[in-house]
Amino acid sequence: MPATKPTTAILHYTAPPVVGGVEAVMYAHARVFLQMGYPVSIIAGQGSVETLPTGCKFALIPELDSQHPDILAAGALLEQGQIPATFDSLVQQLRASLAPMVHRFDNLIVHNVFTKHFNLPLTVALFNLLDTGDIKNCIGWHHDFTWTSPRSRSKVHEGYPWELLRTFQPDVTHVTISRDRQMELAGLYGCPEQAVQVIYNGVDAAEMFGLSVEGWELVQRLQLLAADLIMLMPVRVTRAKNIEYALEVVGALIAKGVKVKLLLTGPPDPHDEMSMAYFHSLQEQRDELGLHGAMHFAYESGPDATEPYFLSLEVVFDLYRVSDLMFMPSHQEGFGMPVNEAGLLGLPIVASDAVPAAKEIGGQDVFRFSLDQPPEELAKRLLTWVTDDARLCLARRTRQSFTWEAIFRDEIEPLLHGKEAT
């Protein structure tokens, strides 16, 4: 049987529906944990399970909230440099509430509590739980630091308990969100920069691209976002579309070290023997060129690979938004509607001179080429073109490394198993 994935709790003062930057990151973390099959819970002083990703559990401990009346009253005195008479009892109350809860989890991710002054009894309680071993694997996720903040520096003072907010805890895996923050925290803690890991915030690709559920599933199935270059051919499988040439261009790009994904959206005619024979000949050419993982026909890329798959217009338009360029090497076209569609979406267009819309509408704004140009030469020109395009370069780097899925796989998942991030 497969090994059980470790359980994780994410702890903060508040959780959604409370609106804030940390809460947004917590929500994104919870969602990607669940997508990757990792059980996750959130522990907070405010929040609601109804506003969390489906499958995320929620535990409410009101005294975690920095706005809880008892915590506010204590905090007012602490900001003046006074330790309230209720401080120790608040620490013990929080410790008693948290101990049996956090002990159940393999990992505890703590957002900001180790470096912010908003609930010092909670900070002390967590230090105590670390000392007693009730927290198995603690990951401190530090966004902001009171001791170095011009706005809140005056609210902390020398000595206990304020000193804990700048005390390096070796039993904690320390994470922050940028190189600048890494240097700032290492200076505050008096530790080597390498003792603080940097894990950037990410983006939700499906949400940002506005993808349908079916479109996102196709993108994931074909692993499009891992590619260096995503090329879209929104055409049917017919000889006029010059698909053989497209296959050779892909082969030439791969020979230059480019991880290419070419997706042709339209089907052959399943009721026409000649059309199906042509489709099978293209599959054979693809295999001969070693392009099976690089060139995909949507027709064969459904949830069940043995069944024909037909894309709706909604999914085709999803793919326009995900792709780096629209590729149309046709021998002949009456017009070339994909040029208008790609143009409306701002998608770069690479088309042959045989596409009327590319010449008459796209003009100088379209990358055009002659069909007399050898595929290897076009591949070389394309590679130079996309490398010089800063927008495409940043899009590639972001989708490969800074979606939440990529960040989880490369940076967060190792921490859940007690390893350093890559």
* Per-residue buried b or exposed e for 43-72, using 16+ beta carbons within 10 Å of the residue's own CB: bbbbbebeebbeebebbebebbbbebebbe
Predicted pLDDT of residue 419: 66
Q: How far apart are CA 230 and CA 208, in angstroms?
A: 17
Spell out the alpha helix ranges (H) of 346-402: 356-357, 375-387, 390-401
- Domain of 13, in residue numbers: 8-203+404-416
Same domain, 157 and 121: yes
Q: Measured in whole angstroms, how far is the alpha carbon of residue 144 from the centre of its chain?
A: 22
Q: In what order do the strands lie in the sheet with 107-111?
A: 57-60, 40-44, 8-11, 107-111, 138-142, 172-176, 196-198
Reported as a single tens digit per residue, the pLDDT across 310-323 is 999 999 999 999 99
| First-to-last C-alpha distance (Å) of the chain | 28
- pTM of the full predicted structure? 0.91
Same domain, 16 and 164: yes
Same domain, 388 and 410: no
Evaluate whether residue 173 is within a structural domain.
yes
Decide if 297 contacts 237 (C-beta within 8 A). yes
Evaluate whether residue 359 is within a structural domain.
yes
Reported as a single tens digit per residue, the pLDDT across 195-250 is 999 999 999 999 999 999 999 999 999 999 999 999 999 999 999 999 999 999 99
Evaluate whether residue 1 is within a structural domain.
no
Same domain, 163 and 58: yes
Helices 120-131, 69-79: axis angle to 10 degrees equals 100
Same domain, 25 and 144: yes
Same domain, 160 and 264: no
Evaluate whether residue 239 is within a structural domain.
yes
Predicted pLDDT of residue 1: 40
Decide if 403 contacts 205 (C-beta within 8 A). yes
Same domain, 181 and 219: no
Q: For position 271, which CATH number holds?
A: 3.40.50.2000
| pLDDT tier for residue 305 given thresholds of 50, 70 and 90 | confident
- Count of structural domains within the chain: 2
